Amino acid sequence: MAKKKRTLDFQRLKKVSILAPLTLVQLKKVLRDIPAVSYPEDRTILRQADRPSKVFIILKGAVKLHREEAGGERIYMGELKQGQVFGADALFSHQACRTMVTTSRPSQFLLLDRKLLKKIIELLEPDQALKFLAAFGRQIQDSCDLENRRYLHHQTQSLKIEVEKQRALTQMVAAVAHEINTPLGIINTAVGIMARELAEPKEITTQRAADIAESLELIRRNVERTRDLIQDFKKVSVSQITYSRELLDISELIQEAINLIRVSLKGSKISVQFVDRLQGSQRNWIGYRRYLSQILINLLTNVERYAYPNDVGGVVEIEIGMNKTDQYHLTVRDQGLGISQENIKKIFEPYFTTGHALGGTGLGLSIVHNLVTNRLKGQVKVKSRIGKGTTFFLTFPRTIPAD
Ligand SMILES: Nc1ncnc2c1ncn2[C@@H]1O[C@H](COP(=O)(O)OP(=O)(O)OP(=O)(O)O)[C@@H](O)[C@H]1O
Ligand SMILES: [Mg+2]
């Protein structure tokens, strides 16, 4: 290891806090023959597990401290600068260094071994010696504090990241399970209709054949949806799921989503009215096919379950229009039971549900909120009055910007 030795600058030494209790005469006497040692930048001075026989006082420059973890990960612990000390705790405790020390710029050190330290203490007046030891203790304390703070910070950060990853995964699993539930429910209804149709000992009329064919088609499309959702699930993290933007006919897309769950709505005596206020090219949406149907299906399932429960039936109106700033306005309006002022503040929170008994998990609207804001780059608002019904207002751009 290349190191240059230089004679000491005693005026500079006086400014080092642990040497401050010594007079210039004392300093010269004890350190007369001790050279300063210089190191270039980026030079390792102490390795973790080294057992230093000297204390290093930084006269010029600075050093970086790193700790190496069992897995090989290297954690930055901080920097020590001019006047600070390292190696002391290892020297006094006879233990190995807990950190690796590297110069962060060209630096100069004064090295004190045990013999030299003893000599200094012997030379000092008792109260001077006390001051010297106290200053020394403070320096050791400071560098230990720095290490511990950094280490704690690092551990907390890693733990936070881990917790965040777990949370995202749990949410993802819950969301996928939630989304798979809807198409499975529809498949179940369609199978039920078919079974009833086929069980009756009547001849198969053209109308019945058409009904059966419609149910079969619904089953096929919902199986497809389920399969797509499971594909998402395989991607493990939400951020990995990306769909490409497409040029879509938004009116057609809304109609398709309605068709997907129409059979289930019909069973609950709910009729859907689709009011399309778009004209010509206004229907051209640069967006994502999957997200819009996912949003509508969640909103419509809620209407079925909460606005008109127990198959009382009613109307749900879906309206799409466009404003002057090329934003779509999509509203889903029911005239059902409504939501209380107390609950309306919480409906977009994950796991908020008033329908535990009905199998609700409280994820539907949090998924809707997430999709509208993060994927469609839009907004969702809600208005409701008890006994009068609920309206969800969605706005989103005609061209969704690429991620
Ligand atoms: N159209 C509506 N009419 C009345 N209440 C509604 C309507 N839509 C949502 N709600 C209320 O908002 C709550 C949250 O809805 P959300 O879709 O997030 O959960 P959920 O439907 O209860 O459960 P999940 O969607 O997970 O099956 C519902 O429990 C219900 O109280
Ligand atoms: Mg729901």
Express each pLDDT in 111-165 by its tens digit.
988 888 888 888 888 888 888 888 888 887 877 777 777 777 777 777 777 777 7
Name the closest-CA residue to atom 20, ligand 1.
362
Ligand nearest 301 Cα, by number? 2
Describe the chain by its helix, strand, coil percentages, rounded to 5.
50, 25, 25
Q: Is 365 in the pocket of ligand 1 (CB under 6 A)?
A: yes
Cβ–Cβ under 8 Å, residues 374 and 171:
no
Ligand nearest 358 Cα, by number? 1
What is the spatial distance between Cα 57 and Cα 110, in angstroms, rounded to a whole number?
5
Looking at 147, 171, 188, the residue that finishes a domain is: 147
What is the spatial distance between Cα 290 and Cα 187, in angstroms, rounded to a whole number?
18
Q: Is 352 in the pocket of ligand 1 (CB under 6 A)?
A: yes
Q: Is 390 in the pocket of ligand 1 (CB under 6 A)?
A: yes
Cβ–Cβ under 8 Å, residues 36 and 5:
yes
Residue 127, in any domain of the structure: yes
Domain that holds residue 103: 4-147
Residues near ligand 2 ion, CB 5 Å cutoff: 302, 364
Looking at the structure of the chain, the number of domains it has is 2
Strand order in the sheet with 44-46: 44-46, 100-103, 62-68, 74-81
Express each pLDDT in 10-53 by its tens digit.
777 877 888 888 888 888 888 888 888 999 999 999 988 888 88
Q: Is 339 in the pocket of ligand 1 (CB under 6 A)?
A: yes
Place of tokens 């198409």: 183
281 and 132 fall within a common domain: no
Q: Is 367 in the pocket of ligand 1 (CB under 6 A)?
A: no
Residue 232, in any domain of the structure: no
9 and 143 fall within a common domain: yes
Residue 29 φ then ψ, to 5°:
-65, -45
Mean pLDDT for all residues in the chain: 86
pLDDT at 54 over 50: yes
What is the spatial distance between Cα 130 and Cα 113, in angstroms, rounded to a whole number?
19
What is the spatial distance between Cα 347 and Cα 352, in angstroms, rounded to a whole number?
6
122 and 271 fall within a common domain: no
Residue 310, in any domain of the structure: yes
Predicted local distance difference test score (pLDDT) of residue 371: 87
pLDDT at 366 over 80: yes
CATH number of the CATH domain containing 113 = 2.60.120.10
> Structure tokens of 26?
């004392």
Residue 332, in any domain of the structure: yes
Predicted local distance difference test score (pLDDT) of residue 1: 47
Predicted local distance difference test score (pLDDT) of residue 241: 52
Ligand nearest 359 Cα, by number? 1
Q: Is 182 in the pocket of ligand 1 (CB under 6 A)?
A: no
pLDDT at 196 over 90: no
> What confidence tier does 2 reach under pLDDT thresholds 50, 70, 90?
very low
Residue 191, in any domain of the structure: no
Cβ–Cβ under 8 Å, residues 309 and 265:
no
Residue 141, in any domain of the structure: yes
Name the closest-CA residue to atom 1, ligand 1.
303
> Structure tokens of 64?
């970086």
Residue 165, in any domain of the structure: no
Q: pTM of the full predicted structure? A: 0.61
258 and 390 fall within a common domain: yes
Centroid of ligand 2 to alpha carbon of 174 (angstroms): 13
119 and 247 fall within a common domain: no
- Residue by residue, DSSP assigns 245-297 as -EEEEHHHHHHHHHHHHHHHHHHTTEEEEEEE---GGGGEEEE-HHHHHHHHH
Q: Please give the number of the atom of ligand 1 that sits closest to the Cα of 352.
A: 14
Q: Looking at residues 291-304, what average pLDDT do you find?
A: 91
Centroid of ligand 2 to alpha carbon of 255 (angstroms): 20
Centroid of ligand 1 to alpha carbon of 366 (angstroms): 10
Express each pLDDT in 327-357 by its tens digit.
999 999 999 999 999 999 999 998 899 998 8
Centroid of ligand 2 to alpha carbon of 240 (angstroms): 25
Looking at 114, 147, 180, the residue that finishes a domain is: 147
Residue 189, in any domain of the structure: no
CATH number of the CATH domain containing 328 = 3.30.565.10
Looking at 147, 179, 211, the residue that finishes a domain is: 147
Q: Which of 297, 358, 365 to mutate to test the pocket of ligand 1 (most atoms within 8 A of CB)?
A: 365
